[in-house]
Structure 1
Amino acid sequence: MKSIQILKAKVNILSVEELHEEIKGLIRSNKQSVIDYLNIYSANIAYEEEWFANFLNTCSIVLCDGKGIQLGAYFLGQEIPPQIAYNRWLWEFFSFCQSESYSIFLLGAKPGIFSKSIDVIHSKGYQLSIDGYHGYFNRSNEENDEVIKIINKFSPDILLVGFGMPLQEKWVIENRDKLNAKVIILGGAFLDWISGSVKLPPKIVTKLGFEWLYRLFLEPRRLAHRYLVGIPLFFYRVFFNRIFH
């Protein structure tokens, strides 16, 4: 599968249709695989944390999750990967899983948000084998073991994990050998989007690449450093890399 390098992390060049075909192949292989995503925030973490870069670079697939990565690829003289943003793609993903009869387990978010997400999926008419568990559990003791037992009892084709970066990656590293799931997809705040607890920006905002500004307006305290510091830092690193490499 074709990929490019953005600073210290890879990102794959593939469309939604190609992604779905790759997921089919991964499930058929019966070998556990991990899919993650790259945006400016995760590219910065990978630049600073070797373990995180290694994790991304060993994933089966890394999706382009932002216009910033596309712009970074352009400035680096790389092929520009198609953007596959979770808040839009997931509904196509659920249709794909329904057509292939894949079972899904959702892991993450607060108990109310997690359960509402499943209700929303059902209300939209999806006939899926789906279950889940909230993300507010102790990930370092026997409670973690109990959650893994719940996941393994369901034995999903696809496990969607949304703890946010880099907590979700650390959890997968520590627990993937215990998990009975064919494909693990890391999704950040995907359950917040599905449940409607975080409103989607208008499509024109996403198309123009200003989704970060929309999210900053909604959650200024949490996201100010990530965007107001992280975005300029990313492009400084991109330009430095282009000039000196």
Structure 2
Amino acid sequence: MSKAIESGASADVFLNRKPACADRALSKLETQIVELEARVEAALADTETIPNGPPAKPEAVEIWGVPFSRLTLGQTLQHVDGLIAAGRPGYFITANLNYNMLTSQHPQLRQVNDNASFIVCDGMPMVWRSQWTDRPLPERVAGSELIYALTQWSAHKGHRIYFLGGAPGVAQAAADKLSDRYPGLTVAGVHSPPFRPLSDREHAELIEEIRGSQPDIVYVAMGQPKGELWIAENYQQIGAPVCVQIGASFDFVAGGVARAPRWIQRAGLEWCYRMLQEPRRLARRYWHNAAFLLRSLRQESLDAVR
């Protein structure tokens, strides 16, 4: 029996104690976020004036069927400002290797990609592959970092953010944590739809709720490709200048899923770290991603010798 319980300490205290490894992981995560926030502050110092009019569509390089915009994190934030200043409904995409694979399987995603304001690269394999072209991607723009950076940016600029999707309570927890971290943040609304198809009435009420909250940015957490397809179908009715599918970012922020250490991210092995965390959910997906990657590289090799 534990000494904590034998000595009369409450079971709640005993059960809620975090192991030392969890504390170290939180400390490393905090260090990553602080480093990220310093980058955002530097970008803010360079762009205190909101751009006039819509920004030109950034230069892109196509990697395995997806046209990735050649943007750094700071440039991504500046383009978001330009879209908000223009005031027209729009969206952008954060695309990882899984999204590349899905684009090859779902022809409708090509139209979704074509209509996007821009697509940032959230995968090291595509960054590495782009180095073989005359238009290399400058860096990976990870969705799990973008949610912090874009929220910090929005708190400074006064942009209103709507949180849509995720498991019950997760979107609210993410909104609360981000509000605590960035006091200037304006949360336009939070909604976690049920995990089933919405009726026509429910769908109409959801669109009206989001539109009525007048958000500048809508974070959508519905999974791939459901989130991207939902945005492409509804962004005009929502009317927000910026919608973006942010995947598991609500879970990262709320604390349900831990991010990989920085060295693992830079090595392009975050997929392995996440699979060890959620093997049942992710093992099959990453197996298919790896097969897609090998097929793509093999096809490029064959094309090169023809």
Separation in 1 of the partners of 2:224 and 2:198? 15
CA distance in 2, matches of 1:12, 1:100: 24
1:33 to 87, 90, 94: 90
**CA displacement at 1:152 relative to structure 2:** 1.2
Contact 1:75 1:238 in 2 (8 A): no
In the TM superposition, what whole-angstrom CA distance separates every residue of 1:184-235 from its partner, at most 9, and x where no partner exists?
A: 1111111111111111111221121110001111111111122122123223
Which segment is superposed worse, 68-77 or 33-42?
68-77
Match of 1:45 in 2: 102
Residue in structure 2 matched with residue 136 of structure 1 by the alignment: 194
Instruction: Pick the aligned partner of 1:9 from 57, 66, 70.
Output: 66
- Contact 1:72-1:235 within 8 A present in 2 as well: no
**CA contact under 8 A between 1:9 and 1:57: conserved in structure 2?**
no
Q: Are the aligned partners of 1:75 and 1:242 in contact in 2 as well (CA < 8 Å)?
A: no
Query: TM-score under structure 2 normalisation?
Result: 0.75
1:99 maps to amino acid: H
Partners of 1:49 and 1:242 lie apart in 2 by 24
The offset of 1:140, in angstroms, is: 4.4
Pairing 1:101–2:153 present: no
Structure 1 residue runs of 5 or longer lacking an equivalent are none
Code of the aligned partner of 1:142: R
Deviation at 1:78, TM superposition (A): 4.9
Superposition pairs of residues 203-222 of structure 1, within 5 angstroms: 203-222=262-281
User: 1:49, 1:186 → 2: CA distance?
Assistant: 17
Distance (Å, rounded) in 2 between the aligned partners of 1:104 and 1:242: 44
1:231 to 285, 290, 303: 290
Which of the numbers 152, 163, 172 marks the counterpart of 2:211? 152
- Give the partner amino acid of 2:88: K
- Is 1:71 the counterpart of 2:112? The answer is no
Which structure is richer in relative contact order (CA contacts within 8 A, separation 6 or more)?
A: 1
Displacement of 1:178:
1.6
Q: TM-score, normalised by structure 1?
A: 0.93
Q: Name whichever of 137-146 and 224-233 sits farther off.
A: 137-146
Letter in 1 for 2:122: D
Match of 1:127 among 184, 190, 193: 184
Matched to 2:148, the amino acid is W
Give the aligned partner of residue 146 of structure 2. 89
SS in 1 for 2:71: coil
Kindly provide the amino acid, as one letter, of the partner of residue 79 in structure 2.
E
Secondary structure at 1:111's aligned position in 2? Answer: coil
Check whether the contact 1:160–1:187 (CA below 8 A) recurs between aligned residues: yes
SS in 2 for 1:159: strand
Structure 2 unaligned segments of length 5 or more: list them.
1-57
Would you say 1:55 and 2:135 are equivalent positions?
Answer: no
Counterpart Cα distance in 1 of 2:133 and 2:79: 27
Q: What secondary structure is seen at the aligned counterpart in 2 of 1:57? A: helix
- 1:127-184 alpha-carbon deviations (Å, 9 max, x no partner): 2111211132643421121111211111101111110111112212332232121111
Indicate if the aligned counterparts of 2:60 and 2:70 stay in contact, CA closer than 8 A.
yes
Aligned to 1:161: 220
SS class of match (1:5): strand
> More deviation in 31-40 or 227-236?
227-236
**Residues 80 and 174 from structure 1, CA distance in 2 versus in 1: closer, same or farther, beyond 3 angstroms?**
closer
- Provide the alpha-carbon RMSD of the alignment: 1.8
Question: Partner letter of residue 45 of structure 1?
Answer: L
The alignment of Structure 1 onto Structure 2 pairs a total of residues equal to 245
Greater Rg by CA: 2
Distance in 1 between residues matched to 2:176 and 2:91, nearest whole Å: 26
Deviation of the 1:107 alpha carbon? 0.4
Distance 2:285 2:294 in 1: 13
What secondary structure is seen at the aligned counterpart in 1 of 2:218?
Answer: strand
**Contact in 1 for aligned 2:130/2:137 (Cα 8 Å):** yes
